[in-house]
Amino acid sequence: MRIILIEDEKKVSDFIKRGLKEEGYSVDVVYDGEEGYFQATSDEYDVIILDLMLPKMDGIALCKKLRAEKVTTPILMLTAKDSVNDKVTGLDSGANDYLTKPFSFEELLARIRALLRKSETATPTKLQIGDLILDLLTHKVTRAGKEIILTNKEYALLEYLMRNAGSIVTRTMISEHVWDINFDTFTNVIDVYVNYLRNKIDKGDKKKLIHTVRGRGYTIRE
């Protein structure tokens, strides 16, 4: 899952980004409303976390602008303002949820999970390719009934491949959805992680699921 965090307080943004990455999310951070608008309309995200008080364009104006341009990504608004009127204004501007600072990180995670569930009501809770099953709720991965233990980054990579099963995903696409906007695309980290997955998923099995498409990228299929 890919999240954009639009927050100008660097200590807050660093804390949130670190915690979300530890949970397996890919996180991009921007520090003002104008850059947030550009990024949120240029790339695809699963959730937008938006601070209310931002330089260049405040959170309310940004939220309204995104909704006016038919951006339907769930928006979680963060603010130090906790009056009922402030909450109503935030929700009426198009936000899906509202979280008052200071907040517990566990509550932030719970609200993100709730937004993701609402946005995926028509989406199955499991992804399956052949005998490989990925449970989106428990993060449990099995092949032929045997559990496969993955790191957070391996899981995120596998989930992205399985969500795009049968299609070719390029290294650039993987870097944008599994890593973040600051990822160095000239490194071989993606190839290394694909090999990690192959060793855990395909090794010892006659039917290989992860395939290299020479000169283009990778695909997962039966």
Q: Which tens digits make up the pLDDT trace of 201-217?
A: 998 888 899 999 888 88
- 218 is written with which tokens? 């990778």
Per-residue confidence (pLDDT) for residue 197, from 0 to 100: 94
| pLDDT tens digits for range 90-145 | 788 888 998 888 888 999 999 998 888 776 654 567 889 999 999 887 889 999 89
Chain mean pLDDT for the chain: 87
Percent of the chain with pLDDT over 70: 94
Sheet with 2-6: list strands edge to edge. 26-30, 2-6, 47-51, 75-79, 97-100
Specify whether the CB–CB gap between 77 and 61 falls below 8 A: no
Domains of the chain in sequence order: 2-119 (3.40.50.2300), 126-220 (1.10.10.10)
Side-chain half-sphere of 197: how many Cα atoms within 13 Å? 27
- Residue 80 pLDDT grade (very low, low, confident, very high; cuts 50, 70, 90): confident
Q: What value does the mean pLDDT take over residues 37-46? A: 89
Distance, in Å, from the CA atom of 92 to the CA atom of 188, rounded to the nearest integer, reads 45
Query: Sign of torsion, CA 203 208 214 217?
Result: negative
- 163 is written with which tokens? 């969500």
Per-residue confidence (pLDDT) for residue 182, from 0 to 100: 64
Per-residue confidence (pLDDT) for residue 36, from 0 to 100: 93
